[in-house]
Amino acid sequence: MSDNLIYKKKNVFEENPVHDEIFAVSDRYIEFLNTCKTERACTRYFVERAKKNGFKALDFKEKLKPGDRFYALNRDKSVFFGIMGNEPEKDGIHYCAAHIDSPRLDLKPQPLCEDSGIAMLKTHYYGGIKKYQWTALPLQMEGVAVTRDGKTVDFSDNGYTFCITDLLPHLASEQAGKTLGKAIEGEDLRIICGTIGEQTQENDKIKYNVLKILNERYGITERDLISAEISFVPQLPASSVGFDKSLIGAYGHDDRICAWTAFEALMSAAPSGRTKLVALVDKEEIGSDGVTGMQSSYFDMVVDKLCESCDKHLVNLKSKCLSADVNAAFDPIYPSVLDKQNASILGCGPTVTKYTGARGKSGTSDASAETMAYFTNLFDNKEIIWQSGLLGKVDAGGGGTVAKYIANRNVDTVDIGVGLLSMHAPYEIASKADVYETVRAFRVFLED
């Protein structure tokens, strides 16, 4: 009796004495992280794998049949993977939604400048970052430009390394006295990109030489940078962390860890007759706005297609969604911002979060008791190790996810995700145990 009375978290490593399978899943996840550091790279990777699994591009003009496996790729930056079920109106749709954009530095439209013998690129940060973490760190270039003749040029995998400088400690007494948020200003996040001048040039010799290199390699001019979409992300490879190699250190766990696990779950889910949809979207880090964000009506276009032969409103009412996004794992070095009893603990499985938001639950969909119970009972019945956790202490700050945008469409939605240490840093930490168990959790929901 007393065993059942008290709720206790379980540890995935301790409950699974043999760890081979847990480590094998993470090896594949690490491989994915090393090739996919932007949303474009992610959609490319996922579509390629889905095609090998028999998924076909969704034809909005053709009728879907039960069992059809499809993907809908939206502007190369968000993508939906689905399996058509028998009767959406009777069964509803089971959704998993995650985002594939991560905090980074984007170039300004006119980025290239030169000062005191150094050519630099001006940036504007994307998403919530601690600016000081982005200095003295190797960066790589990602993204595309579209030239005057309509040709798309891809900058990914170009082998170049870049960096933003920081001040030497010897001369940083003034900087050291500033607050953390002010020590490095947004305008100072300028990326070093060259120091060799072009002898024939009078002014901006180094800038000219950089443009020459870009033109020779990519056929682009300074004007083409105005329309380009160029990002800089950490160049560090994802790797196992710790003597026991139980952790994964990487850029972009938020939220590729949930995107990858949801995708894995769909690819390995047993057929159930219920319609399943995994939404991997862009722009979450800046508010989910825009054509490729969760608020875009592209989502409705896909759902309309699934509900072609039935009433979409009735389908929504019967549908359920796991809004999959990372959470803040309890960090013993910073215990003051989390209520340990209600925080995500590394290695104890995916964290189910009833509500997110800030200042009195503002900006969250706040799942109902019935919806929470459906998911937690399902996980317990299927022997999934899960845990309850909230993002921070009351009034410590807060955050939101895509959950509300799906819930606003009248779909019962709960937040779930992997707890991270150093979330939003250039190198975030996750537990391999949580990656493993999160795939299992998504799979039982998609199969239900």
Contacts with Mn ion in 11-30 (CB under 5 A)? none
Q: Which residues pair with 61 in a beta bridge?
A: none
**Binding footprint of Mn ion, residue count (CB under 5 A):** 3
Q: Which is nearer to Mn ion, 117 or 287 (CB)?
A: 287
- Give whichever of 325 and 412 is closer to Mn ion, judged by the CB atom: 325
Q: Is the dihedral of CA 215, 219, 224, 225 positive or negative?
A: negative
* Binding segment toward Mn ion, per CB under 5 A, in 179-187, 314-322, 323-331, 438-446: 323-331
Contact 292, 281 (CB under 8 A): yes
Integer Cα distance of 98 and 263 in angstroms: 10
Beta strands 412-417; 320-324: pairing state: parallel
Q: Which is nearer to Mn ion, 209 or 401 (CB)?
A: 401
Which CB atom, from 68 or from 415, has the smaller least distance to Mn ion?
415
Percent helix, percent strand, percent coil in the chain, to nearest 5:
35, 25, 40
* Nearest-angstrom CA–CA distance, 325 and 284: 10
String of contacts with Mn ion for each residue 204-243, x by CB under 5 A: ----------------------------------------
Residue 204 has what DSSP assignment? Answer: S
Q: Do residues 80 and 278 lie in contact, with contact meaning Cβ atoms separated by under 8 Å? A: yes
Q: To the nearest whole angstrom, how small is the minimum distance from the Cβ of residue 6 to Mn ion?
A: 32
Amino acid letter, residue 250: A
- Nearest distance, CB of residue 62 and Mn ion, angstroms: 34
Cα diameter, the chain: 86
Task: Name the residue number minimizing CB distance to Mn ion.
Answer: 255
Q: What gap in Å lies between CA 167 and CA 5, rounded to an integer?
A: 56
Out of 106, 264, 325, 428, point to the residue binding Mn ion (CB under 5 A). 325
Q: Which is nearer to Mn ion, 111 or 400 (CB)?
A: 400
Looking only at residues 339 through 378 of this chain, which bind Mn ion when binding is defined by CB under 5 A? none
Whether 97 and 322 have beta carbons less than 8 Å apart is answered as yes
Note whether 101 binds Mn ion by CB under 5 A.
Answer: no
Question: Site mask, Mn ion, residues 249-288, x = CB under 5 A?
Answer: -----xx---------------------------------
Helix 432-447, helix 369-381: angle, nearest 10: 110
Q: Which is nearer to Mn ion, 224 or 254 (CB)?
A: 254
CB 10 within 8 A of CB 385: yes
Q: Which is nearer to Mn ion, 246 or 288 (CB)?
A: 288
Question: Closest CB to Mn ion among 68 and 254?
Answer: 254
State the angle between helix axes of 432-447 and 20-35 in degrees (0 to 180), rounded to the nearest 10.
90
**Least distance CB 99 / Mn ion (angstroms):** 6
What pairs with residue 250 in β-bridges? 428
Nearest distance in Å: CB 328, Mn ion? 10
Q: Which residues are bridge partners to 359 per DSSP?
A: none
* Least gap, CB of 146 to Mn ion (angstroms): 28
Window contacting Mn ion (CB under 5 A); options: 84-92, 209-217, 247-255, 352-360:
247-255
Note the residues at the interface with Mn ion (CB under 5 A).
Answer: 254-255, 325
